A and B are shown apart, each in its own frame.
Chain A
Amino acid sequence: MLAPLPASDWNETTAAHLLLRTGFGATQQEIQECAAAGLDASVDRLVDWEKTPDPTADPEWAKPDPTLAEQRRALRNLPEEERRMKFQEFQRQQREQLHELKQWWLERMRNGPRPLQEKLTLFWHGHFATSAEKVKIAYFMWRQNDIFRRLGNGPFRNLLLEVGRDPAMLVWLDGAQSRKDAPNENYGRELLELFTLGEGHYTEDDIKAAARAFTGWTVNRFNQTASFQKFNHHDGRKTFLGASGNFNDEDIIDQILGQNQCARHLSNRLWSFFAYQNPPAALADSLGDSLYRLNYDLRPFLKAMFRSREFYSARAIGTQIKSPVQWLLATAKSAEMARFPGRAAIGLLTQLGQNLLEPPSVKGWDGGRTWVSTTTLLLRQNAAKLFVYGGDPGGVMFNREDMARRLEKLQELRKTEGKEGAPMEDDPMMARMERMKNRNNKMPAMIDPRKLAPAGTPDDNAALIESLLRRFYPTGAPAAAGKAFADYLAQSPDKSLEEKTKGLAYLMMARPEYQLT
């Protein structure tokens, strides 16, 4: 088992590290409370999140729609043209709901009372990476998200089984179309390669056997549930990972979990996400053994990880490149953002390379350095500027040129639909795009300097720098920066406290070090 952090090393820096990694940012007050509560109690509170009430309501549409079956039947009798229009209307509605879902989730991450629950949900979303681009039904995406939220800290077996029977996954990796006489291997392959064992620890025949064992599970598009069709299940002998029998999906999962390699693969993924990438071999061994011995029960494993001395080592603290979501939400928290980009946040995150619920492939986001390119780094710096000073959002919160091009395409489409003259309000998405395209220099600042340096703050340069650094760099200020900030203030001694605060906040967020957490 991992060696625990000695009590003497528990302080505001280690507490801040715990909160940043298990959540999406932390205020000064939260850090102090966490440090005072102690390591064990803090970890328990984070991992045993069920004990913290969460009053957030699900999106209003997040349930099966019983009228859908009737609607679909009615569609069949319509003339082709009308059917097409109805279908487009349906697609528009799904896109709207998906957008709502993204915001709903982001809001939970930002303000929800159970940060680790959302952080783990994000981890599982990246692990079982499923994209709405193919799934298309917003309710299915919500339902999968909810599986991660409900089962994220429990036994991995439950989660794995549920994911295999999840409508979104059945659509995403083609299980819904798998037939007993022609099994689709897509899910079987990714299950072994990405979700459990990792490449090189199974054969092509194992994939085929798994695919056969999973046949029968499909999506009922009418009542929007997964269902098992016995007649379509391959009811026969299979050989999988060296064992033979008439296996079904549960048997396959048990065979996989019986391999130490699965524990090794999964624990490595968890460690890379929460602590740092590429743990040394000895640590990887001990993490894998630990998860295996715990019978894949994630709750005690997570606690051991977050209590371990290694989790607070120099290799871990302040070394991880912030994902776009982490960057945005930690900024909102640290700067006590007076406003939040809200709907526009989704566009910003997409431009920064993390479009929630639409990962680039089944491999999820590679993370680490791949979050940062010359373009996304400039974008992060420009967004920081926009947060502090306000300004034209067109080059930051969305891509104005792309928007214009998409709008043009949509307008052409309307022409072919014969709706050329119809008012834009017909289509809320187009209307919104039109408004955004034309919005110039109008976004107000989102950070209020009076929150960063409240009235009564003494106008003392050194003290101001010190307090802002604590805010923006909770686990430690960048070594080389101190002098630069002092020099900046020294440039123009006549500045108001408010102007100085804004300038410093921007400069602190524009630094390369700010991209680390």
Chain B
Amino acid sequence: MKTRRQFVHSSMMGLAATWTLPSFLDATILGLDARAADSAIQTATGKDSPILVVLQMGGGNDGLSMVVPFADDAYYRSRSQIALARDSVLRLDDYAGLHPNLAGLKGLFDNGDAALIHGVGYPNPNRSHFRSMEIWHTASDADKNEHYGWIGRYFDSACQGQPPTAGVNIGSMPPQAFLSAKPMGISMASPNRYKLIEPGDIAVADARDGQMVPMMADGENIAGSRSGSSIESLGAANPANDGLSNLQYLERTALDAEVSSQDIQRIVSAHKSATPYPSSRLGEDLKLIAQLIAGGLPTRIYYANLGGFDTHANQKPAHDRLMKEFSEAVTAFVADLKEQGNFNRVLMMTFSEFGRRVSQNGSGGTDHGAAGPMFLFGGAAKAGLHGKHPSLTDLNNGDLKHGIDFRNVYATVLEKWLKVDSTPVLKRKFATMDLLKA
């Protein structure tokens, strides 16, 4: 198992990407490595550790058009224009079924690969996209503001000393969920662009190679001189990175970018998937994640996004299309992971910042609502339906009441899947649920 310092140096040796070795290297990374090397924090990042894939459905997914309560007259009464015909729904039980475009997903349920959690939300739901997304990202109460994300707090408490690719967000800017006290995780929109273009002037690359030798020596000297001192005092001498200056933050990000881009370039050129994916954006993003998993990138959490769910007007064609994109992409992803033999170590979790109002509005769309369904996919998911479908008549201001707090789902994933104590991550104890196979 490489420490971060060795990791940095060996990859620099390989491609000599960062000729600008950050000045803070001794002040932060080495300190972290030293601490991590000697502590139990350094959990496995290798081939066998569990991976979580979070899929955000941005804009407020209409849960009632995804998991359709076809046996409920209230559904048809509230949605004269946009309700899905009873016999088109793909039945999960006697009450609810999936949107007709979710055939692939239905197959996953039939196969025991998927779980659905009904009616997930939080107390005092906020109907602003921005604020509700923030609540899901930070796992805070609706009346409190948290700065750091829940995944960021997981990084802070469980991923120190690991390479930056412990968290990989597919997109150019990290989600708030990734925000941590100590910078961790990378954001990448597409591997084709996630690299330094080789300078046309070859001599620049020569110069970079030339730089490596003295830098290496410096690094080793620093490490050598410190290896005798106590690990604890090193940690104390180099307090957490939240004390980083803007320059140190930039140096750190530059280093993370260069190191991770080399790993990612190597993996995507070596691992091609045999599974066909749809040519949609989500299809490509999940395909990329599957490639990175196959290539053994030491990642604990991947984050992907499917947007466009804010369907206030003329909802049906837009939502139908999204369901198709979602189903096709996820189905291909699952097939790919099975093919790779990685399906049992990957768990995918979906969420949206809110569901939508039960009654449709006057423009063939739906307005912002509250509770909605979550999905889990993976060999470890306890397949089938969890929780009760929320009532369509016992409402809170026209919105579904939640039966399950999303933080109970987070706690379950943290404790039972990622195997960490969820209390420091969620800031208090949330009960876990029976969502995973023992």
Contacts and interface: CB of A to CB of B under 8 A. Distances in A.
Given A377-B253, A377-B257, A488-B204, A516 B195 contact: no
B421 interface: no
Nearest to A353: B173
A348 to B, nearest CB: 12
Contact of B23 (A374, A379, A401, A479): A479
A491 B203 contact: yes
Contacts of B199: 385, 389, 503, 506
Contacts of A7: none
A395 B196 contact: no
Contacts of B203: 491-492, 495, 499, 503
B172 A491 contact: no
Interface string A480-505: 11001001100110010001001100
Interface centre among A351, A374, A400, by most chain B C-beta atoms within 10 angstroms, is A374
Contact of A374 (B130, B187, B207, B210): B187
B260 interface: yes
A391 B197 contact: yes
Interface residues of A, number: 54
B257 A378 contact: yes
Given A385-B197, A503-B201, A374 B188 contact: yes
Given A321-B246, A375-B188, A503-B203, A512 B173 contact: no
Given A372-B253, A375-B187, A395 B281 contact: no
Contacts of B172: 351, 353, 373, 375-376, 379
Contact of A382 (B22, B196, B210, B281): B196
Interface string A362-403: 110000111011111111011001100111000110011100
Given A374-B188, A499-B203, A503-B201, A480 B23 contact: yes
B204 A378 contact: no
A487 B192 contact: no
B149 interface: no
Interface string A293-331: 000000000000000000000000001110000000000
Interface string B210-224: 110000000000000
Given A353-B173, A480-B23, A484-B20, A377 B193 contact: no
B204 A373 contact: no
Contact of A516 (B196, B200, B250, B256): B250
A286 B18 CA distance: 44
Contacts, number: 138
Contact of A389 (B130, B201, B258): B201
B186 A320 contact: no
B164 interface: yes
B104 interface: no
Contacts of A479: 23
A391 to B, nearest CB: 6
A28 B250 CA distance: 26
B367 to A, nearest CB: 12
Given A395-B192, A399-B189, A374 B19 contact: no
Contact of A513 (B189, B190, B247, B257): B247
A130 to B, nearest CB: 15
B193 A395 contact: yes
A503 B173 contact: no
B173 A370 contact: yes
A480 B249 CA distance: 16
Interface string B231-268: 00000000000000111011101101110110000000
A374 B186 contact: yes
B196 A512 contact: no
Interface string B339-359: 000000000000000000000
A510 B20 contact: yes
B341 to A, nearest CB: 29
B174 interface: yes
Contacts of A390: 200
A516 B173 contact: no
A405 interface: yes
Given A319-B246, A375-B187, A510-B20, A386 B197 contact: yes
Given A353-B172, A374-B186, A378-B194, 7 more contacts: A319-B247, A375-B173, A376-B172, A382-B193, A479-B23, A492-B203, A507-B204
26 contacts: A353-B172, A363-B130, A369-B246, A373-B173, A373-B174, A374-B186, A374-B187, A374-B188, A375-B172, A375-B187, A375-B188, A375-B193, A378-B195, A378-B261, A391-B197, A399-B190, A408-B279, A484-B211, A487-B207, A488-B207, A491-B207, A503-B199, A503-B207, A506-B199, A506-B201, A510-B20
